[in-house]
């Protein structure tokens, strides 16, 4: 659910012409950003050889930023700077800010990343930490936030959670000695539907107000692309005393969430999709400021703080290197870190964030609403629900979706559609047995690419 309500864009009669698509590209305030990315070339994606980017000038059409975002040009520059830091000053890199480097000393690098990430998720910098990976972070957060009791032990989640989330929740429940069959409550759409109504989620919360400890949903559902009404669900779950966590894998750097204002308890995300930080890149967490408080009212040596699994990097930098085993957590999300993070991983993240720092999530979202609506308009144009051999299972209301549209094909179509797209060097994701997910990324995709995609897609369906 959008933080600023979006009305659905409309398009003129000539929407499906090259001229019209070009006019949208020309008017796109973010058009200069495309050049900040390395778009895989047609030749490279077809070849099985390791090739330098740019050897062949013709780019593919990359609509797979919901799985893995493409590489920013800044990444090489940033990684080189980091390798130079390491090779030139060795261990001093931990505590030295070099004048001409875009990167802070390694001790401060996660804070550099968190400061930029916090702007993308509507949080204060202290509420965000760059650390770990998504599934591991969910475990760390569940360890602190899932406190089951004999009567309140259930976790509400979605029926088609990404398997890693499903396993993580299942294992946490079992770890506490409960039976996942009893304690995992899966919320799905009504029979024959794909969208889960907010009302249905709220009614599950009511139904489980006495026996559920926590609700953990994806901000955006990976399969259908539905963006859940995060503020409403969070507020309602709180009114029933549930802890609220969000998996923002598909929402981070895609939609304009407001984690602080929505009063979310915790969230975690990966940064390799719309965030472009690279395959398996370091992830992010959010912990609301009220949970990150460190209270010294009982003395400097007796801090009180929310229980969590700890490691030395959660310790305040003022005491981290004292080696006296007196743990004083960093206030905020930083106090949930464990280990010395990989500086190379953080560097790739900072490189990607340097691109996002040049714009804002509000600007990105504005283009996203338009380009995805354009995609939807062209897909549906001049056809009817009865004759179309596919169905868009993503909500049509822009307030309930991000960049992605999920296209459910009639049985038997997926093979020829993916072959045709592959032949046309269009990269998007297919989910067996019959879904194609298409995600125009506002920073590097164009309206002309959307038009080209739809032409190929429709030609494949007709062939
Ligand atoms: C919703 C969701 N959860 C978890 C994952 C996996 O997370 P990771 O492998 O980064 O732990 C993904 C994507 O791979 C995802 O989309
Ligand atoms: N990390 C991966 C590794 C290999 C293949 C895919 C992924 C994905 O991230 C998939 C993604 N979660 C998705 O929703 O498509």
Tell whether 167 is in a known binding site: no
pLDDT value of residue 2: 47
Tell whether 246 is in a known binding site: no
Domains belonging to the chain, first-starting first, are 18-66+360-462 (3.90.1150.10), 108-354 (3.40.640.10)
For ligand 2, whether the C-beta of 359 sits within 6 Å is no
For ligand 1, whether the C-beta of 272 sits within 6 Å is no
The CA distance from 373 to 378, in Å, is 9
> Higher pLDDT residue, 402 or 48?
402
The CA distance from 430 to 82, in Å, is 36
The mean pLDDT of 232-252, rounded to a whole number, is 98
Ligand nearest the Cα of residue 220 is: 1
Are 30 and 359 in contact by the 8 Å Cβ rule? The answer is: yes
pTM of the model: 0.96
Tell whether 375 is in a known binding site: no
For ligand 2, whether the C-beta of 356 sits within 6 Å is no
At residue 48, does pLDDT exceed 90?
Answer: no
For ligand 2, whether the C-beta of 222 sits within 6 Å is yes
At residue 106, does pLDDT exceed 70?
Answer: yes
Closest residue to atom 4 of ligand 2, CA basis:
67
Reference 347, options 27, 108, 65, 37; nearest CA is 108
Are 215 and 233 in contact by the 8 Å Cβ rule? The answer is: yes
Q: State both tokens at 90.
A: 């060795």
Are 255 and 281 in contact by the 8 Å Cβ rule? The answer is: no
User: pLDDT, tens digit, for every residue of 342-367?
Assistant: 999 999 999 999 999 999 999 999 99
Ligand nearest the Cα of residue 165 is: 1
Closest residue to atom 10 of ligand 1, CA basis:
134
For ligand 2, whether the C-beta of 269 sits within 6 Å is no
Ligand 1 pocket: which of 69, 135, 270, 282 to mutate (most atoms <8 Å of CB)?
270
Separation of CA 19 and ligand 1 centre (Å): 39
For ligand 2, whether the C-beta of 67 sits within 6 Å is yes
Ligand nearest the Cα of residue 269 is: 1
For ligand 2, whether the C-beta of 274 sits within 6 Å is no
Which atom of ligand 2 is least distant from the CA of 280? Answer: 1
The CA distance from 11 to 283, in Å, is 38
The CA distance from 46 to 65, in Å, is 18
Q: Where do we find the tokens 């990989």?
A: 342
Band of residue 317 on the pLDDT scale cut at 50, 70, 90: confident
The CA distance from 75 to 66, in Å, is 19
Closest residue to atom 13 of ligand 2, CA basis:
67
For ligand 2, whether the C-beta of 133 sits within 6 Å is no
pLDDT value of residue 3: 57
Band of residue 50 on the pLDDT scale cut at 50, 70, 90: confident
Q: Where do we find the tokens 């004083």?
A: 328
The mean pLDDT of 185-189, rounded to a whole number, is 97
Average pLDDT across the chain, whole number = 95
The mean pLDDT of 188-204, rounded to a whole number, is 96
Q: Where do we find the tokens 């506002």?
A: 442
At residue 115, does pLDDT exceed 50?
Answer: yes
Tell whether 374 is in a known binding site: no
Tell whether 134 is in a known binding site: yes
pLDDT value of residue 1: 47
Reference 287, options 145, 173, 148; nearest CA is 145
Q: Can you tell me whether residue 356 is helix, strand or coil?
A: helix
User: pLDDT, tens digit, for every residue of 418-457?
Assistant: 999 999 999 999 988 899 999 999 999 999 999 999 999 9
The CA distance from 374 to 381, in Å, is 10
pLDDT value of residue 401: 98
Closest residue to atom 8 of ligand 2, CA basis:
67
Separation of CA 327 and ligand 1 centre (Å): 31
Q: Which helix (H) or strand (E) holds 435?
A: strand 435-438
């Amino acid at each position: 659910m959008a933080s600023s309500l979006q009305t659905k864009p409309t398009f003129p009669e000539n929407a499906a012409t090259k001229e019209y698509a070009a006019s949208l590209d020309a008017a796109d305030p973010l058009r200069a950003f495309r050049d900040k990315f390395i778009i895989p070339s047609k030749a490279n994606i077809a070849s099985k050889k390791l090739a330098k980017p740019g050897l062949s000038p013709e780019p593919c059409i990359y609509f797979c930023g919901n799985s893995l975002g493409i590489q920013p040009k800044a990444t090489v520059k940033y990684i080189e700077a980091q390798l130079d830091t390491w090779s030139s000053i060795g261990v001093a890199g931990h505590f030295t800010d070099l004048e001409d480097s875009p990167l802070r000393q390694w001790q401060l690098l996660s804070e550099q990343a968190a400061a930029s990430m916090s702007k993308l998720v509507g949080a204060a910098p202290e509420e965000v930490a760059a650390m770990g990976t998504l599934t591991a972070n969910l475990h760390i957060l569940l360890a602190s936030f899932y406190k089951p009791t004999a009567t309140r032990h259930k976790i509400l989640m979605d029926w088609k959670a990404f398997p890693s989330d499903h396993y993580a929740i299942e294992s946490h429940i079992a770890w506490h000695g409960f039976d996942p069959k009893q304690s995992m409550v899966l919320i799905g759409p009504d029979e024959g539907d794909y969208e889960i109504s907010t009302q249905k989620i709220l009614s599950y919360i009511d139904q489980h107000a006495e026996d559920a400890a926590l609700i953990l949903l994806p901000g955006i559902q990976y399969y259908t692309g539905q963006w859940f009404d995060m503020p409403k669900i969070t507020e309602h779950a709180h009114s029933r005393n549930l802890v609220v966590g969000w998996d923002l894998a598909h929402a981070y750097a895609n939609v304009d969430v407001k984690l602080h204002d929505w009063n979310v308890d915790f969230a975690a995300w990966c940064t390799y999709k719309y965030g472009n930080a690279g395959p398996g890149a370091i992830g992010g967490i959010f912990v609301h400021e009220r949970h990150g408080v460190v209270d010294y009212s009982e003395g400097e040596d007796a801090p009180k703080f929310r229980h969590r699994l700890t490691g030395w990097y959660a310790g305040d930098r003022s005491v981290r290197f004292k080696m006296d085993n007196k743990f004083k957590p960093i206030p905020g999300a930083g106090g949930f870190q464990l280990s010395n993070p990989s500086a190379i991983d953080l560097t790739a993240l900072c490189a990607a964030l340097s691109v996002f720092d040049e714009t804002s999530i509000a600007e990105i979202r504005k283009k996203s609403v338009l380009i995805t609506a354009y995609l939807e308009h062209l897909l549906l144009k001049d056809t009817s629900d009865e004759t179309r051999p596919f169905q868009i299972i993503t909500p049509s209301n822009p307030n309930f979706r991000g960049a992605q549209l999920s296209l459910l094909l009639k049985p038997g179509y997926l093979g020829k559609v993916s072959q045709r797209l592959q032949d046309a060097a269009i990269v998007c994701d297919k989910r067996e047995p019959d879904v194609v997910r298409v995600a125009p990324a506002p920073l590097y995709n164009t309206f002309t690419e959307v038009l080209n995609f739809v032409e190929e897609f429709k030609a494949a369906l007709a062939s």
